[in-house]
């Protein structure tokens, strides 16, 4: 008999294993992608509560405002690429933010066929509050780590993100019939 552990590492109920049971060669807990997804889900849920409480915005709206705070003005395509989100879904999020007066759309002066999205003054104030709350949360999350550990973690996450984007591109190509 062994004790199963949850993703957070807490002990759960004992699990009996019979001799005839075959164990998989690799436990799903060994997959780093799964562990990162769990971490992402926990952080996303905490952020959802925080930004709903502070600004009455969803996590998706938070992401759009954060990206626009960094890169505005930008097109919907650029915004979607920066967030690694589907353009159609993001368009609905941006429309909701526009109705609430947090973002605005304007024709691109270089290409009238394209619309550029940016934060309004209200959106800039929301962005400033978001960044302050995000900084406090980030500081709390990383408190147990040294400066060197933090730098190494950032570098590793960046490398994993680049690699994950490569994998996504291959998956998208395969889905379109690009590979046999």
Mean pLDDT over the full length of the chain = 86
Question: What is the structure's pLDDT at 137?
Answer: 95
Read off the tokens for 88: 């159609």
Mean of pLDDT values over 30-43: 93
Fold for 39-144, please state it: Arc Repressor Mutant, subunit A (1.10.10)
Supply the pLDDT for residue 24: 59
For residue 57, which phi and psi values (nearest 5 degrees)? -125, 155
Q: For the ranges 11-20, 60-69, 103-112, 153-162, which has the lowest average pLDDT?
A: 11-20
pLDDT above 90 covers what percent of the chain? Answer: 67
Residue 92 has pLDDT above 50, yes or no: yes
The whole-number pLDDT of residue 79 equals 94
pLDDT confidence of residue 6: 46
Domain positions in the chain are 39-144, 145-180
3-state secondary structure 35-101: HHHHHHHHHHHHHHHHHHHHHCCCHHHHHHHHHHHHHCCECHHHHHHHHCCCHHHHHHHHHHHHHCC
């Amino acid at each position: 008999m062994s004790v199963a552990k949850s993703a957070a590492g807490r002990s759960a109920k004992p699990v009996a294993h019979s001799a005839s049971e075959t164990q998989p060669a690799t436990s799903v807990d060994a997959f780093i992608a799964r562990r990162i997804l769990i971490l992402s889900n926990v952080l996303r849920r905490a952020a959802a509560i925080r930004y709903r409480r502070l600004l009455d915005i969803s996590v998706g709206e938070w992401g759009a405002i954060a990206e626009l705070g960094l890169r505005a003005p930008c097109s919907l395509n650029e915004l979607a690429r920066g967030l690694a989100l589907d353009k159609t879904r993001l368009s609905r999020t941006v429309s909701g933010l526009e109705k609430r007066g947090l973002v605005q759309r304007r024709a691109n002066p270089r290409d009238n066929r394209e619309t550029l999205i940016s934060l309004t003054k209200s959106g800039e104030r929301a962005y400033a509050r978001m960044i302050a709350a995000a900084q406090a949360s980030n500081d709390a999350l990383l408190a147990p780590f040294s400066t060197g550990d933090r730098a190494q973690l950032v570098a590793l996450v960046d490398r994993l993100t680049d690699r994950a984007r490569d994998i996504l591109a291959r998956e998208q190509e395969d889905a379109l019939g690009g590979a046999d």
